[in-house]
């Protein structure tokens, strides 16, 4: 499984798969369009199924870490 990194010098700091310039968001976008893992890997052969799962885990963890504060009335 490839690590997901954030580097301000690569794609303006968007999360990418280490060793690539493939942004996590593009994989998530493919998944929302009902692409299968196999279809995504065909488009991005440097990735594997574990990388796709790590993109989902990354997104899930980001949402879990999000803090919501009520707006003052």
Quote the radius of gyration of the chain (alpha carbons, Å): 14
3-57 pLDDT tens trace: 999 999 999 999 999 999 999 999 999 999 999 999 999 999 999 999 999 999 9
SS in 3 state form for the chain? CCCEECCCCCHHHCCEECCCCCEHHHHHHHHHCCCCHHHHHHHCCCCCHHHHHHHHHHHHHHHHHCCCCCCCC
* Single pTM value for the model: 0.83
- Residue bearing the bigger pLDDT, 19 or 2: 19
């Amino acid at each position: 499984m490839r690590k997901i990194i954030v580097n301000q010098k690569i794609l303006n700091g968007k999360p990418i798969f280490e060793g690539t310039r493939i942004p996590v968001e593009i994989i998530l976008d493919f998944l929302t369009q009902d692409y299968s893992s196999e279809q995504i890997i065909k488009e991005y052969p440097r990735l594997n199924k574990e990388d796709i799962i790590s993109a989902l885990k990354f997104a899930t963890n980001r949402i879990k870490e999000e803090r919501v504060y009520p707006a003052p009335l």
